[in-house]
Structures are given as structure tokens and as C-alpha cells.
Amino acid sequence: MHSSRHLSPGDTIGILGGGQLGRMLAMAAARLGLRSHVFSPEPNAPAAQVATASITAAFEDTAALDTFARCVNVVTFEFENVPVETVAYLARLRPVHPGPAALDVAQDRLSEKNFLSRLGIATAPYREVNAAEQIPEALESVGRPAVLKTRRFGYDGKGQARVTREADILPAWEQIGGQPAILEGFINFSRELSVVAARGQDGRTACYDLVENRHENHILARTLAPARASEEQTGKARTIAETVLTALDYVGVLAVELFECPDGALLVNEIAPRVHNSGHWTMDACAVSQFEQHVRAVAGWPLGNPVRHSDAIMENLLGRQAAAWAAYLGQPDCVLHLYGKSAMRAGRKMGHVTHIYTKGKRPEEKDARRTVDAATQRTGR
């Protein structure tokens, strides 16, 4: 099978990773007449259930990677902890978007922070830490309290520990497994925001609205779209996203997670080189979703218009919360998405719901919550 920079309908997008993000990418590809081929280490993965084809194999299995490469025109990934070696191996056989450089930066918190600093983008103060003995000096530098984070493989608050006093140092170091880390100044943020943006192969960018995210137990609980924000903030967030996309010569969708400081300033917490949970609202509140946008970018097609036609609150259905699925079907202006996962483990992302409102008519969060709770109580969530 040949590979070209621009796909045609009927061509195949290879997706590394089989989770819900891959599933929604495969569905967006199908809507555009493209095929998808999912490579996942787990059998019966959510993405494999809806893809045209799938391979179950380890990311290190080069024979399986060769077969996969032969079946696809372009490769992308749905989670950033795919081994860089896997992506680099495939990049010799097929175009890979986003490229290994973006993955390299996003997989390592130190590289990520250094990269952002070089671009003049503000982050929390940070210091590299490779041994517990380095923590006291780093603490002096970043200030107290601070957060110790592993450089690699941290997500949803995993691989993190708070350090306030000297007595916290050793337990924190042990808690993160004594791995190479960074110590970050704790930001007393007023809100967590994010922006999802895309860059096409022609270098054009498209940016969705700035949104507000509410986390519970370090996991995203809901996204409010758009964020109530000043023009200055929305402009700033867009500039940050565009600067990052351009600096990485990026192709595809990327998310930038931000802390809003009490004075309104924005600091970047992290970059996700992929479609993102805080962009799920775009499926129901924009003509072109983040998933379609990513498919367009990796296919070498023009990006779509990221304009929002409705306001939205996206609610994640975690673990047992998904048992209330039927209640959402009965609610007007509510769109249900389920990911095809059978085991409802605590905190596991089983699906999400988008509440759609006429632009400018989104209720205050507490009022919106009341409607949701009333619906879900009926099913004993």
C-alpha cells in the first residue's frame, strides 16, 4: 500500500492505542469515508470495537508493527505514553502525525517545561530533581508548598506528591518511587482552563474556545464551554496554543492545560499531544469536532471551522456513574456517549454526556448540576 501526504476517501488511518479517544477518532474517520486500523495491546479495546480492523499486540512487537504499517496510509496515536521507539520505528515506514518530536516533549515533564520556557510561555516555577538530597534546594527555589512529580508516565495526579515541610521530603520521594522528577511550585489557581487547537499540514491552525475544567480526585469531572473569560485571556490562550503548534511543526490536535492565577494570568500546566477529554464537548456543540479536526489534519485535508454553535457542559461518566445512562436518554438537550467498556471500575472513564444550551443561555453550574442530579437519582446513581 502506498503512502501519500494526502489521503483519499477509502484510505486508512492507523491509530496507536485502543481507548475511547481512539474510538471517537475511528468514528470521525468513518464519517468522512476513511478506514481505521487500531493497534492496541488490549483485546476488545473500545477503539477496536468500531474500527475497520485491529491488531492486538505489544508496542514493542516489530513484526506486528510491520504488518500494521503495511495496512495503513498514515499513523497517529490516541495517548501520549506510546513508546517513542514505537513511533520512531513506524515513522520510518509511514508518515506519523503528530511526529515523534511532539511526543518526546510531552512525555517528559522536564523537557516540556524547558520547551515552554524557551518559547517564553509561563509555567509554575520548577526544578529538576534526581535525588532526594536535591529537594531542599529545589524547595528554596520554587517556594512552598510544592509538588513533586515524576518526569514520565504521570497522569490524572498519579506520580505526584505534595512537599511543604522538610519532613515531607523523604515520604514524597518514596511515594513517587524515587524516579527522576521535577519539583514544581504549588499554584493557588482560581480555575483550571484548557484550550484545544489543531494545525494542518498546510500550517494553518484552528482553535476551539477556551473552556473551564472541574476536577474531582484529580480526574476531570466536567468541562464548561466556553469558559467565562476576558477577551485578553481567550486571546492569550489562543496565542499559547498557536505558538506551541508552530514550534513543534505539529500536525493534528493538541490540548493545552492551564492554571488561571487569582490575578487572571495564565500558566501552562501541561500539553497533551492528542485529542483531549476537555474537547469532547466539541462533538455536540461545534460543526467540526476535535476528532474530525484531528482526522482532517493527519489526512492532509483542510481543517474545519472550530466555531461553537451551542454552549455546553460535558460531564464524564466515571465508574458506576455510567449506570445512569438511561436517565440521560430521557433528558432533552442531553447527548450520551458510551465507550463500550464492560467493567465499571471506580474512576474509569465509561462515557460522557454533553448538555447543550443555546449560546449565552447556559445556566450557572450549580443549577445545571441540580438537573443532572435529579435525572440520575431516579436511576439510583
In the bound state with ligand AMP, the residue whose beta carbon lies nearer, of 75 and 105, is 105
Q: What are phi and psi of 19, to 5 degrees?
A: -80, -165
Residue 306 DSSP one-character state: -
User: Are 184 and 116 contacting, i.e. CB atoms less than 8 angstroms apart?
Assistant: no
User: Are 253 and 296 contacting, i.e. CB atoms less than 8 angstroms apart?
Assistant: no
In the bound state with ligand AMP, the residue whose beta carbon lies nearer, of 124 and 207, is 124
The three cell numbers locating residue 324? 445512569
Residue 117 DSSP one-character state: H
Count of residues in the chain: 381
The three cell numbers locating residue 188? 493557588
In the bound state with ligand AMP, the residue whose beta carbon lies nearer, of 184 and 311, is 184
Integer Cα distance of 123 and 127 in angstroms: 12
- Beta carbon of residue 186, minimum distance to ligand AMP (angstroms, whole number): 4
- Beta carbon of residue 341, minimum distance to ligand AMP (angstroms, whole number): 22
Element holding 185 (H helix, E strand): strand 181-185
- Beta carbon of residue 272, minimum distance to ligand AMP (angstroms, whole number): 9
216: CB partners within 8 A, 6+ apart: none
Residue written as cell 527522576? 180
- Concatenated DSSP letters of 42-56: STT-TTTTTSSEEEE
In the bound state with ligand AMP, the residue whose beta carbon lies nearer, of 155 and 357, is 155
Of all residues in the shown chain, the one whose CB is closest to ligand AMP is 187
Residues that bind ligand AMP (CB under 6 A): 124, 147, 154-155, 157, 184, 186-187, 192, 215, 218, 257, 269-270
- Beta carbon of residue 81, minimum distance to ligand AMP (angstroms, whole number): 12
- Beta carbon of residue 168, minimum distance to ligand AMP (angstroms, whole number): 15
- Beta carbon of residue 94, minimum distance to ligand AMP (angstroms, whole number): 31
Integer Cα distance of 242 and 240 in angstroms: 6
- Beta carbon of residue 196, minimum distance to ligand AMP (angstroms, whole number): 15
In the bound state with ligand AMP, the residue whose beta carbon lies nearer, of 257 and 292, is 257
Residue 167 DSSP one-character state: G
In the bound state with ligand AMP, the residue whose beta carbon lies nearer, of 191 and 320, is 191
**Cα torsion angle, 270, 51, 60, 58, sign:** positive
In the bound state with ligand AMP, the residue whose beta carbon lies nearer, of 144 and 359, is 144
In the bound state with ligand AMP, the residue whose beta carbon lies nearer, of 112 and 284, is 112
∠ Cα 94 97 101 (to 5°): 105
User: Are 310 and 228 contacting, i.e. CB atoms less than 8 angstroms apart?
Assistant: no
In the bound state with ligand AMP, the residue whose beta carbon lies nearer, of 143 and 235, is 143
Residue 279 DSSP one-character state: G
- Beta carbon of residue 259, minimum distance to ligand AMP (angstroms, whole number): 7
Residue 205 DSSP one-character state: E
- Beta carbon of residue 163, minimum distance to ligand AMP (angstroms, whole number): 11
Beta carbons within 10 angstroms of residue 291's beta carbon: 25
Integer Cα distance of 85 and 104 in angstroms: 10
